[in-house]
A and B are shown apart, each in its own frame.
Chain A
Amino acid sequence: NAGVTQTPKFQVLKTGQSMTLQCAQDMNHEYMSWYRQDPGMGLRLIHYSVGAGITDQGEVPNGYNVSRSTTEDFPLRLLSAAPSQTSVYFCASSYRNPPGEQFFGPGTRLTVL
């Protein structure tokens, strides 16, 4: 099993550009989530999904969209990037909902200029 994979590993955007961060898991997990990690702020939940076709907002959803068309994939879309979205983004998955143990991907480091 590859576990949770994320692409790209690094990305630089200009203000106003859009992009999609990819996340995939091969563990047949129901629950998937996106977090952002900023220095001194811990991990904050952006969006989550409890199964294919079902998504909901977390603590900091503004400026981000998600969809869950398959069990395996959970992409995160930045609609119009802003410098405040400079962060490290982690995707995570869990066998069940509620999540219990979450398995995290390696992260995407995003810089918005």
Chain B
Amino acid sequence: QQQVKQSPQSLIVQKGGISIINCAYENTAFDYFPWYQQFPGKGPALLIAIRPDVSEKKEGRFTISFNKSAKQFSLHIMDSQPGDSATYFCAASREYGGSQGNLIFGKGTKLSVKP
């Protein structure tokens, strides 16, 4: 079974701090790595995504760092705010490849940002 391993399971950060969530994947054919954000009682929503032709992608306070050789990628949330408190899921898939285009999700990280 292809897996995406996510850590930590939960994370508590003070307001203004940096939140870091890590993911590792096994299938070297994966070439699309999104992060989804889920608030309680809601469906997940795409936050940011990266493809392996770049090592970093930044959108506002959110940055994905990608290490192809280590098969790892991480989400950094700068200046974390209480409104960032949510569950974050990393995922991976092949962008072209039939059923391998289906997203494989990590198990999620519950982030709490304390005021």
Contact = CB atoms under 8 A, between A and B. Distances in A.
Interface residues of A, number: 26
Interface string A30-67: 00010100001111110010000000101100000000
Interface in B90-115: 93-103, 105-108
Contact size range, B: 20 to 34
A42 B105 contact: yes
B44 A104 contact: yes
Given A98-B94, A98-B95, A45 B103 contact: yes
Contacts of A97: 101
Contacts of B44: 43, 90, 104
Contacts of A48: 102
Interface string A80-113: 0000000000101000011111111111000000
Given A40-B9, A40-B107, A106-B42, A100 B102 contact: no
Interface of B: 1, 6, 9, 32, 34, 41-46, 49, 89, 93-103, 105-108
Interface of A: 4, 33, 35, 40-45, 48, 56, 58-59, 90, 92, 97-107
